[in-house]
Amino acid sequence: MKKLFFLFLFLPGLMAFGQKPTVQLIPQPVSVKEGKGVFLLTKEATIRYNKADARKVAVDLAEKLSAPTGFPFNVREGKAGTVQMNLLEKADTQLGNEGYILDVTPKSVVISANQPAGLYYGMQSLMQLLPKEIEGKTKTTAKWSVPVVKVVDYPRFGWRGIMLDVSRNFFTKAEVERYIDEISRLKFNTLHWHLTDDNGWRVEIKSLPKLTEVGAWRVKRYGYFGARKPPLPGEPATDGGFYTQDDIREIVKYAQDHFVTIVPEIDVPGHSMAAIASYPELCTTKDTSIKVNPGSSFSEWYGDGTFKMLIDNTLNPSDENVYVFLDKVFTELATLFPNPYIHVGGDECYKGFWEKDPGCQALMKKLNVTDVEKLQGYFMKRVEDILKAKGKKLIAWDEILQGGISPDATVMSWRGIKGGIQAAKMGHYVVMTPTTFAYLDYTQGDPTVDPPIYANLRTRKCYSFEPVPDSVDAKYILGGQGNLWTEQVPILRHAEYMTWPRGWALAEDFWSPKESKNWDNFVTRMENRFDREDVAGVNYARAIYDAIVNTKITDSKMTVTMDSEIPGLDIYYTIDGTMPDSHSPKYNAPFDLPDGPITLRVITYRNGKPIGHLITLNPEQLKTRAQNN
């Protein structure tokens, strides 16, 4: 194994110099030993499993292979299949619960694992080794060959998550299941499901019917989220949706079949406008005019992390009826989601209404505290007690550290990694999901090309994510997660576009050995995956091919600097009002723009062919870009 591992570490360096690997897997396995020859999958092939617990994965594999090949695979219990799925008689401690061994010879394919999850991940690697046509859903013609190889693989982290926000925009049951299928193919094992917020309550709570009768619906609006008109008096709320409890059970079962755990989030005490619109008595102001927010502005942000809410969206921590409400919510939620955790938000809780409320002031006096932040700590402790009574653990965003938390709370660090470091040093388990590396709603290319948002996060930056800071004990870092907030994501195709390829980079951050990561090598495998997703019909962004254009003003001179994420791209530009092509000036080093109302146009080429989007920056955009750098 040591020899294999050092060979594996050496391979990325070779591939960086242009040697295209035969085995192209995402995420990169722990160990790969390539052999000579191929295994040919034919209609005579048989799929066998050695134990009953392996049957589900074997059947799943047969279904995936049958559609594009047209072969009627025979799946039975046995130990001599052409494709064999084996649960090990004696556990291999190195593989753990999710690791696998994939052994391909010219005569057979054998996937071995301690648990069915390992067989499932071995199956995902096998699918990636077959020709790209295997990703299709209809019969096609291809040479169904797999390179001879032995893969020994297991994940670095136990928590490999993606967060899908369905409050800001609702996604159907079928769409959520499709998204689960997509993330499981990349060996993600956790879907953090953001079910409630100011913009919609998406889960049926039978004891509180108004949460979906009122809270799941808002007035129809178009345009940029945050710039939409607020609801008008008497305007019908027709936009939205929710999942019935039967829907939830079916989605949870679908996720379990794909070895994905769903962690539901009920965001409290802030971000609760949909709940308050349903039951106004839950907030301090008891404002009956509050409606589910359709994407209109209801807050002021001051640039230093502080803010003011113009509409009350916060539950009242001093009202016992709020905890009765939450007990009902979590009682029903706990029966729907079998995993140990329930996420309870805790982020961006505005306390201005609490400061003015006599009940909250009386509670602070009773608790002998003068800091209103401590009220959130009190609230979260009450919530945690409710969850514990249901057999659940509390996990929440890193703001919960401000008001004090119990030793059992788990922290999700999103405001950079500082909160995660603080929590880990206090002995709390942490999921690292910082905006700086893991926010999939951020613009991934140039904001003049991609739909703009207030921050940018490129694939290369995602790939550089290291979830374990040097200053903490790694045992407290459960893993990492990418977050897809959906204010600007109205449809599933765009959710895919925002997730991939950055999600592939995160998949490797969370699964693969830290020592094996190599950006140039990843690029080769990423481009191979583009072709496969074209066949699968999955959308993705190509922003990695676009130029990165920055400007800087020094002594009244504007300097232009350009770069690219992909190695080997040629960048061409014009400043004379013409369209750039491969005969235009080629960027080789930073240059100063001459004085005048200049528009800069930039495009990338590879091997003499255009490959990136055309980027056009007018004088005002160039100036703004310089001011922001």
Whole-angstrom distance, CA of residue 123 vs CA of residue 84:
11
Which residues on neighbouring strands pair with residue 602, listed in sequence order?
573, 615
pLDDT score at 305: 81
Q: To which residue do tokens 């600007």 refer?
A: 488
Taking a C-beta distance cutoff of 8 angstroms, is the pair 262, 185 a contact?
A: no
Domain contains 24: yes
Q: To which residue do tokens 């600097």 refer?
A: 561
Type of residue numbered 496: E
592 labelled catalytic: no
Domain contains 529: no
Whether residue 326 is found in the same domain as residue 217: yes
Residue 8, pLDDT > 70, answer no
Taking a C-beta distance cutoff of 8 angstroms, is the pair 482, 503 a contact?
A: yes
Domain contains 527: no
Residue 295, pLDDT > 70, answer yes
Annotated catalytic residue, options 192, 194, 258, 271: 271
Domain contains 419: yes
Residue 4, pLDDT > 90, answer no
613 labelled catalytic: no
Whether residue 163 is found in the same domain as residue 146: no
Query: Angle, to 10 degrees, between the axis of helix 519-536 and the axis of helix 2-16?
Result: 80
Report which secondary-structure segment, H or E, holds 430: strand 430-432
| DSSP assignments along 490-545, one per residue | -SHHHHHHHHTTHHHHHHHHHHS-GGG--HHHHHHHHHHHHHHHHHHT-----GGG
Whole-angstrom distance, CA of residue 556 vs CA of residue 575:
18
Locate all alpha helices (DSSP H) within 337-451, ordered by sequence.
352-356, 358-367, 373-389, 418-425, 435-438
pTM score? 0.95
192 labelled catalytic: no
Read off the pLDDT of residues 320-343 as tens digits, 9 standing for 90 and up: 999 999 999 999 999 999 999 999
pLDDT score at 20: 60
Q: What would the mean pLDDT of 5-21 be, rounded to a whole number?
A: 43
Domain contains 538: no
Domain contains 324: yes
Whether residue 507 is found in the same domain as residue 568: no
pLDDT score at 6: 38
Domain hosting 592: range is 546-628
Whether residue 550 is found in the same domain as residue 503: no
163: Cβ contacts below 8 Å, ≥ 6 apart: 191, 192, 193, 194, 265, 433, 481, 482, 483, 484, 485
Read off the pLDDT of residues 240-254 as tens digits, 9 standing for 90 and up: 999 999 999 999 999
Taking a C-beta distance cutoff of 8 angstroms, is the pair 48, 114 a contact?
A: no
Phi first, then psi, for residue 89 (nearest 5°) are: -70, -40
Whether residue 299 is found in the same domain as residue 367: yes
Read off the pLDDT of residues 369-414 as tens digits, 9 standing for 90 and up: 999 999 999 999 999 999 999 999 999 999 999 888 888 999 999 9
The CA-based diameter of the chain, rounded to the nearest angstrom, is: 78
Whether residue 223 is found in the same domain as residue 250: yes
Rounded to 5, what percent of the chain is helix, strand, coil?
35, 25, 45
Whether residue 166 is found in the same domain as residue 107: no
Residue 12, pLDDT > 70, answer no
Q: Which of 512, 537, 562 is the last residue of a domain?
A: 512
CATH number of the domain within which 10 lies: 3.30.379.10
Residue 303 pLDDT grade (very low, low, confident, very high; cuts 50, 70, 90) = confident
Annotated catalytic residue, options 197, 399, 446, 546: 197
- Report the number of distinct structural domains present in the chain: 3
Annotated catalytic residue, options 347, 348, 373, 487: 348
Read off the pLDDT of residues 218-276 as tens digits, 9 standing for 90 and up: 999 999 999 999 999 999 999 999 999 999 999 999 999 999 999 999 999 999 999 99
